[in-house]
């Protein structure tokens, strides 16, 4: 990064993205995509910028731990200078293909361009000092929670919860899995092509393909994004995490059903549901969300897969769904509820630093309110699937149990998932990020008893 360096230099852009995420609570994926669209750079430089941003976010606490002995006045360090140092140390420790001299020189030159001579001298001194010493080892930390927090760059409150709910070994396994590269998984639309045929066609186009061990309709693909492949253009494959593909299995769909997806954005699961339905059989999808931009994504997803005629897309707060839809109307309801997203930290590492315990306290109440609003809309004998992309039990099992307590006309039914080790005694599915190196996910199938209306009325009369 000389003074005449280009504005599209990958390290400079990465630093600016990290600043925005840190200082303005921006979303890393949105900021990265926005800069990729504007970068006048080679694909190699674009890939490096992306890798630097996500790498620093995945290892932020560890990088700070490495830097700590060499920064004399950390509180006075400007935010952008800290990002420059994190970026350089990430390259020195994790990116073997980048020479040490290049990582340090680029950091110093950027500091010189953006700051004054003293700042570039500080950056140079810290990094040279870092290289002269052995790497610190977080295993030397006495507190086991602190060891996990630093080693895997997770907030202390989350480490505490994972240990309390799953035990220390499983907590460490999950923490380690969060920092593994995310796989590219595809959902095969079995209404349009078999999984075997999709494999064959993708392999013929040069992709490396294997079948998902988790999802019966899933594929794991390497070799690039297949968005220009004829299968994708025909709506026969879609990018979706493996664990999210279990929704179709949990809903137990038939072609003539009326199905509500009450928290549908951005539309991936709506498209999956629609693939089971047939307009000529009377099948209908009712997809709703509270956010306008998500409604656009839902419509685009359904249109691109050829399912627009099957679906009604509506702006709706799920808590007031009963004001829009009549009681006993739907055969199936999916509530993929707003949640903390603690199963997604592999793909969204910035969430580690933007969430805290206080920000999560209102979520179970919101989740339960949506479930309670949906219950009356389901036909007797119908099935409601409650799903989240978190692994925190207070948002999952605890919410399900609260709903059952308030709605005795419902009961839990075992989801017919072949891998029974991921089912609890009541048939709920919990996929941890470490189980398949996928997103963490929770599913519960709630069935409305037949003659539920009468039994509910009798319960109300007793009260």
Neighbours of 94 (CB within 10 A): 16
Q: Does 269 carry a binding-site annotation?
A: yes
Which of 15, 199, 339, 389 is flagged as catalytic? Answer: 389
281 assigned binding-site residue: no
Contacts of 385 (CB under 8 A, 6+ apart): 247, 250, 251, 332, 333, 334, 335, 443, 444, 445, 446
Is 336 annotated for ligand binding? yes
The 3-state DSSP class for residue 99 equals coil
In order, the DSSP letters of 322-369 are GGTS-TT-EEEEEEE-----TT-TTT-TTHHHH--HHHHTTHHHHHHH
143 is an annotated ligand-binding site residue: no
Q: Nearest to residue 339, comparing CAs of 370, 382, 306?
A: 370
Annotation marks residue 389 as catalytic: yes
Q: Is 350 annotated as a binding residue?
A: no
Residue 208 three-state SS: strand
Residue 267 labelled as part of a binding site: yes
* Contact (Cβ atoms closer than 8 angstroms) between residue 96 and residue 55: no
For 386, the enclosing helix (H) or strand (E) is: strand 378-388
Q: Return the structure tokens found at 102.
A: 């290049």
Contact criterion met (CB below 8 Å) for 355 and 345: no
As a whole number of angstroms, the distance between CA 364 and CA 22 comes to 27
Residues known to be catalytic? 389
Q: Which residues are annotated as a binding site for S-adenosyl-L-methionine?
A: 263-269, 289, 317, 336
């Amino acid at each position: 990064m000389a003074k005449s360096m280009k504005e599209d230099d990958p390290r400079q852009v990465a630093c600016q993205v990290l600043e925005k995420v840190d200082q303005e609570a921006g979303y890393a994926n949105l900021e990265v995509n926005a800069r990729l669209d504007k970068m006048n750079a080679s694909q190699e430089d674009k890939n490096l910028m992306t890798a630097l941003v996500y790498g620093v976010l995945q290892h932020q606490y560890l990088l700070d731990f490495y830097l700590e002995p060499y920064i004399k006045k950390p509180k006075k360090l400007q935010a952008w200078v800290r990002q420059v140092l994190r970026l350089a140390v990430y390259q020195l420790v994790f990116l073997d293909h980048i020479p040490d001299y290049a990582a340090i020189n680029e950091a110093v030159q950027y500091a010189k361009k953006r700051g004054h001579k003293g700042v570039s001298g500080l950056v140079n001194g810290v990094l040279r000092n870092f290289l002269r010493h052995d790497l610190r080892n977080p295993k030397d930390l006495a507190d086991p929670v602190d060891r996990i927090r630093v080693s895997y760059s997770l907030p202390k409150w989350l480490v505490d919860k994972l240990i309390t709910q799953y035990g220390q070994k499983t907590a460490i396994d999950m923490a380690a899995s969060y920092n593994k590269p995310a796989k590219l998984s595809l959902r095969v639309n079995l209404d349009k092509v078999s999984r075997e045929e999709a494999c064959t066609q993708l392999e013929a186009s040069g992709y490396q393909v294997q079948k998902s061990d988790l999802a019966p309709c899933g594929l794991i693909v390497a070799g690039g994004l297949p968005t220009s492949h004829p299968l994708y253009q025909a709506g026969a494959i879609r990018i979706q995490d493996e664990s999210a593909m279990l929704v179709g299995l949990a809903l137990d769909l038939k072609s003539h059903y009326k199905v509500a997806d009450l928290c549908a954005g951005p539309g991936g699961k709506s498209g999956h549901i629609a693939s089971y339905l047939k307009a000529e059989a009377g099948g209908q999808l009712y997809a709703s969300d509270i956010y306008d931009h998500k409604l656009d994504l839902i419509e685009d997803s359904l249109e691109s897969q050829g399912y627009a005629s099957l679906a009604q897309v509506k702006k709706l707060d799920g808590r007031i769904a009963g004001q829009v839809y009549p009681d006993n109307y739907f055969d199936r309801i999916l509530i993929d509820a707003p949640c903390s997203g603690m199963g997604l930290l592999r793909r969204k590492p910035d969430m580690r630093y933007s969430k805290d315990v206080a920000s999560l306290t209102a979520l179970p109440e919101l989740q339960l309110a949506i479930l309670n609003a949906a219950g009356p809309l389901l036909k007797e004998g119908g099935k409601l699937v409650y799903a989240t992309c978190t692994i925190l039990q207070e948002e999952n099992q605890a919410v399900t149990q609260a709903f059952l307590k308030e709605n005795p006309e419902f009961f839990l039914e075992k989801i017919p998932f072949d891998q029974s080790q991921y089912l609890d005694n009541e048939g709920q599915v919990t996929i941890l990020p470490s189980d398949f190196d996928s997103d963490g996910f929770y599913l519960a199938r709630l069935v409305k008893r037949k003659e539920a209306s009468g039994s509910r009325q009798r319960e109300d009369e007793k009260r």
